[in-house]
Amino acid sequence: MVGTRKLLAIGLDGATFDTLLPLVERGHMPNLAALMERGSWGRLASTIPPFTAAAWSTFITGRNPGQHGVLSFRDKRDRFHYDLQGTGFVDARRYDLTIWDILSTAGKRVGIVNVPMTYPAHSVNGYMVTGMLTPPHVAQFTYPPELAEALGSDYVIDLDFIRDEDSFRICGFPPKTEMMAQIRHMLSVRARTCSRLMQEQPTDFFMVVFTSTDRVQHFFWDDLANMIARPSPNGTADAIERQIAEYFEELDERIGQLTELASPSATVLVISDHGFGPAPTHRFYMNIWLEQLGLLQRRGRASFLDLEYWRVMLGRNRHLKALLRRLMPQAAQDKAKQVAESTSGGIIDWSRSRAYFVPLYFHVGGVEINLAGARHEGIVEPGRDYELLRDRIIHQATQLQDPRNGKLIVELAARREELYQGPHVESFPDVILVLDPDYICSASLAGSSLIEFHAPMRSGEHRQDGIFIAAGPSIAQRGELSNLRLLDVPPTILYSMDLPVPSFFDGQVLKEAFDPAYLSAHPVQSQEWPSIPRAAEQAEQAGFSEAEQAEIEGRLRGLGYLD
């Protein structure tokens, strides 16, 4: 029976058991409950940072970020000239060898729908519909290209919340009920498409990622939490809470339909790339902290007239911020942001600074050392000076307390090579800090205190733990498992399909999820792979055009991903 095993993987972007368990217990999600009941499940540790780009890249390649190099949506960063944000966007050509390539090479037919970071589509043994970071108006988001037409004109890759450049009412989000309606439309169109594809073009491996879970939790975390806190699910007259309950019910129904369409011999996986929780309510000013340690020097004091100062002051008031966003044309907002950023960068005296902050994701930040030779005005000598400075920063970070309540601010402070391994580690910030998720890292040098209140634009933000649920004939009925990592999912997929695991994968097969009989009949096999320099081969090809980059940027901003 070698090679006959099939697999259905359903990705729920950002799904967390913190919300799913209460919904399951209340009977909102009977299909998910059934999978958990007959299989094994547990919290799934994401990448650091717990972010869509880094996490799905790890899933797609089976490798840690040090190997694939992706920590954010941005592609390139000119560290020599102190570019902190980066430019361009990651595209799928950067991955040498993907899990789809491995399955295709093993003769498995694959169907891949809406996995983030898969654009541009490339040839597989089967078909592919690309996901998040696909430019909004490209025709070729499928392999084979003619599949695009078969998907129909109502197929949506992602949402575009209000992008009316000519109107003065831009950049405020639309009414909640309208947003929910768009999110639910996106879910049902995607699910219908998948049902049709599974029936008309059956595969050995089928995977879809529903990004609507991430969007619902970013924008409606508060409402979701309120809904869950109510003693009875139907005890609310609140229209949004009802819509959210209906959204999760529909999601569950769709999971049931896809599971039904999978072969009875198939393993069914439900996974997420990271978890979710309430958005941070405090700002931690990383550069001010480095300045207080004597590691960062500024050219002059920020004045009350400084645009950056006003941006921070206004940013503290959510209503004022929302109002400004509505009133100011996008072009003016972009200009203000550019000026503010250059002001902020212009404040730092690089020739006298030893370390500075590099943003990664909300509560996860990097500290970069101003290394002689590697930076335009680098002053820290490599070797002993560099190591001593990193030790000092890590030591100081672990002592950091919120002065108002004594709470430790930093949950994890580590040298980059302690968290990542591979050729890209050198391009990551020298020290990585993971803050308590109630604190967002800020680069600003306006203000004078280390910590201030923060008024988030979206009520939910990412957390470290996603979800893992597995069910099927080879899976044990084991209930909750612990110590699961996203990195372990790709080898587990190959193993459950009775395939050897490439030796370059960084994770382990999650053996504890499997039936003892399957385990003893199928010892885990490792396989050497010749390197397939697909990325090198395709590096010659053009990346995103300027117009495409602008469109992606607009969409990410519309979703609140870019400030």
CB of 129 to Zn ion, least distance (A): 18
Q: Which is nearer to Zn ion, 52 or 57 (CB)?
A: 52
CB of 50 to Zn ion, least distance (A): 8
CB of 272 to Zn ion, least distance (A): 7
Q: Which is nearer to Zn ion, 357 or 362 (CB)?
A: 362
Closest CA to 211 of 233, 231, 191, 195: 191
CB of 329 to Zn ion, least distance (A): 30
Total Cβ atoms within 10 A of residue 147: 16
Query: Are 429 and 417 contacting, i.e. CB atoms less than 8 angstroms apart?
Result: no
d(CA 433, CA 132): 27
Q: Which is nearer to Zn ion, 14 or 111 (CB)?
A: 14
CB of 559 to Zn ion, least distance (A): 11
CA-to-CA separations, 112 to 3, 68, 117, 144, 488, in angstroms, rounded: 19, 20, 12, 12, 19
Strand partners, 277: 461
Q: Which is nearer to Zn ion, 115 or 358 (CB)?
A: 115
Query: Are 275 and 466 contacting, i.e. CB atoms less than 8 angstroms apart?
Result: yes
Query: Are 370 and 355 contacting, i.e. CB atoms less than 8 angstroms apart?
Result: yes
Q: Which is nearer to Zn ion, 133 or 324 (CB)?
A: 133
Residue with tokens 């209340």: 26
CB of 13 to Zn ion, least distance (A): 4
CB of 52 to Zn ion, least distance (A): 3
CA-to-CA separations, 354 to 255, 297, 347, 493, in angstroms, rounded: 52, 8, 15, 45
d(CA 179, CA 259): 28
Closest CA to 8 of 250, 216, 254: 254
Query: Are 125 and 103 contacting, i.e. CB atoms less than 8 angstroms apart?
Result: yes
Cβ neighbours for 282, distance < 8 A, ≥ 6 positions apart: 402, 438, 439, 440, 451, 452, 453, 454
Identify the three-state secondary structure at position 478: coil
Alpha helix (H) residue ranges in 201-297: 212-229, 239-261, 286-292
- Rg of the chain taking only CA atoms, in angstroms: 24
Q: Which is nearer to Zn ion, 275 or 472 (CB)?
A: 275
Q: Which is nearer to Zn ion, 52 or 134 (CB)?
A: 52
Query: Are 21 and 33 contacting, i.e. CB atoms less than 8 angstroms apart?
Result: no
**Positions that interact with Zn ion (CB under 5 A):** 13-14, 52, 214, 273
Cβ neighbours for 148, distance < 8 A, ≥ 6 positions apart: 139, 140, 141, 142
CB of 46 to Zn ion, least distance (A): 9
* Residue closest to Zn ion, measured at CB: 52
CB of 214 to Zn ion, least distance (A): 5
Q: Which is nearer to Zn ion, 277 or 315 (CB)?
A: 277
Q: Which is nearer to Zn ion, 47 or 444 (CB)?
A: 47
CB of 67 to Zn ion, least distance (A): 20
Angle 167-172-173 (CA atoms, 0-180°, nearest 5)?
115
Angle 209-212-214 (CA atoms, 0-180°, nearest 5)?
90
Q: Which is nearer to Zn ion, 12 or 413 (CB)?
A: 12
Q: Which is nearer to Zn ion, 11 or 66 (CB)?
A: 11
CB of 486 to Zn ion, least distance (A): 11
